[in-house]
Structure 1
């Protein structure tokens, strides 16, 4: 497997916020990658490394990674509108795109608004549950445990060591966990400790944002080939806000004009972190599909 040089850093002004895009140059049609809530663009590094030579744009969603954090964070629909503006500003075309979890939800809305720019989508356990479930899930609980996440760390190495044996990180590829910690912390000048690039209160607010129903009316407009990969289903002993079961509507593929669905019953929601090779293979296959006439 060939090594890739580190990405360049693009900063786009979108609705008054600076959004960061990690960009790996290359030849051919572009890849667009959208991460899950609480993560960041560099969680895709091990997948990008397995796709040498391709131009890749991995976006830090608002309040994540190198993008501006604002309170309250933009809602799900507004975030999708902002990522649509990113695609327009970069003038991306013939895009093969992947979105994990929240990023999959945002990707569907973006592709619906700019379908002509996309060639295919890979949805990795997208947060698009049955329509009746989403408002219940968002309104039901407190996301206070998320807001109380430890925010101060002496170093990325300390964070990685603390998480190495903790669920769900204990199943992750070691390099992905390293990247998650290395690029998920920031240290301001003069500060003694690192802090999370996605502030815990912002992460909790993203989970709890009421709305996001727009995605259901947009599904018929996503006319490009779509692959949906789902993790294991919910078990009787799973808590409401346990993030390991799949949040994805089992009937989602039937609501999209050209979609296939596959479930990985032995994998949890974080399978892109546990098996980056699987995601890279899926993207490689999509990249090899002929362009639609």
Structure 2
């Protein structure tokens, strides 16, 4: 058992292709929820959500190529995460679960619901899941760098001590102002190696493959528009570095022409791409999860 935030969590693993998937489990007597994190994140991104959903049985895997699942082999890509999520449900003996996805994890959630609507009847997409096809001939690597450049740059950095690593994140414009046990636990789970060469656990090949699917894979981009994918999209007011330009805005949401009866979208004010998962904004995510559970 480990503590993350105030909720007592336990670590478990599930058999998947090539090995075992690491999973953080916040036990509860209520209905099951599976939470899928972002492209350079890990399962403890959802520790605050676990606190906000007392009684819910919440499982959050470290996705293939990250944190406790960094040793799982390729091939990578969002389809691999979908397969791993289904394998997790099978291992747990669950027929179905509500899916919560943040950022890249929201695209995985939408794709999983499109492929397996009987297993994932409702989804909550948090600042992700809705994509826009790039112009023909776009260099995906260059586009990935433009969208998540700072996060990718961190993967090649080394840190002399855990204190230096934590200081780096305390200075992060989107995370630093929200510092607390949830954020500290989340960033620490990604740390691997030995001083003075501590580094991120994320596998660069996994990040590239997953990012290419998010930005350009036709099935992935179409998933949120499929009629069997039902739930809610929550989008942050501000961006990855707390800048005013966010991943979504009212114009882009309107242009996507989502069916409001099947996939309503709403902005969460006063949040950025990361802080939407931490107090106080996480209460909005928790409310959407409760709605999804009631509608499932």
Range moving further from structure 2, 87-96 or 39-48: 87-96
Provide the rounded CA distance (Å) in 2 between the counterparts of 1:117 and 1:18.
Answer: 21
Deviation at 1:59, TM superposition (A): 1.1
Between the aligned partners of 1:247 and 1:134, the Cα distance in structure 2 is 21
Closer/same/farther in 2, CA of residues 276 and 65 from structure 1, 3 Å limit: farther
- Deviation digits for residues 66-107 of structure 1, max 9, x if unmatched? 003467660223332332332333333452321111000000
| Counterpart position of 2:192 | 186
TM superposition shift of 1:64: 0.8
Structure 1 contact 220–257 (Cα < 8 Å) conserved: no
The question of whether the paired residues in 1 share the 8 Å contact of 2:175 and 2:275 is answered with no
Q: 2:290 aligns with which of 269, 287, 291?
A: 287
What does 1:80-119 correspond to in 2, within 5 Å?
A: 80-119=82-121
Aligned to 2:236: 231
Asked whether the equivalents of residues 115 and 222 of structure 1 are also in contact (C-alpha less than 8 Å), the reply is no
Aligned to 1:79: 81
Residues 192 and 282 of structure 1: is their aligned pair in 2 closer, same or farther, counting only changes over 3 Å? closer
Question: In structure 2, what is the Cα distance between the partners aligned to 1:206 and 1:290?
Answer: 28
Greater Cα shift, 83-92 or 202-211: 202-211
Change (3 A) 1:252 1:37: same
Q: Distance in 1 between matches of 2:107 and 2:144?
A: 21
Structure 1 residue 167 corresponds to structure 2 residue 173: yes
Task: State the partner residue of 1:261.
Answer: 265
Task: Give the one of 170, 179, 182 matched to 1:176.
Answer: 182
> 2:159: which partner in 1?
153
Distance in 1 between residues matched to 2:155 and 2:292, nearest whole Å: 42
Q: 1:179 to 1:226 in 2, by over 3 A?
A: same
In 1: Cα distance, 2:41 partner to 2:58 partner:
18
Unaligned runs of 5+ in 2: none
Q: Which moved more, 1:88-97 or 1:215-224?
A: 215-224
What TM-score comes out, normalization by structure 1 length?
0.79
Gaps of 5+ in 1: none
Residues 240-279 of structure 1 correspond to what in structure 2 (within 5 A)?
245-246=246-247, 250=253, 251-252=255-256, 254-255=258-259, 258-264=262-268, 266-273=270-277, 275-279=278-282
Change in CA separation of 1:49 and 1:211 when aligned onto 2, cut-off 3 Å: same
Structure 2 distance, partners of 1:71, 1:290, is 33
* 1:178 counterpart SS class: helix
The alignment covers a number of residue pairs equal to: 283
The alignment's TM-score, normalised by the length of structure 2, stands at: 0.78
**In structure 2, do the counterparts of structure 1 residues 120 and 192 end up closer, same or farther at CA, with 3 Å as the change threshold?**
same
Residue 276 and residue 163 in structure 1: after superposition, are their counterparts in 2 closer, same or farther (change >3 A)? same
Q: Distance in 1 between matches of 2:11 and 2:136?
A: 34
Establish whether residue 212 from structure 1 lines up as the match of residue 214 from structure 2.
no
Partner of 2:42: 40
Structure 2 Cα separation of the partners of residues 175 and 14 of structure 1? 31
* Equivalent residues of 1:99, 1:124 under 8 A apart: yes
- In the other structure, the counterpart of 2:133 is 131
* RMSD of aligned residue pairs (Cα, Å): 3.6
Cα 1:100/1:84, change in 2 over 3 Å: same
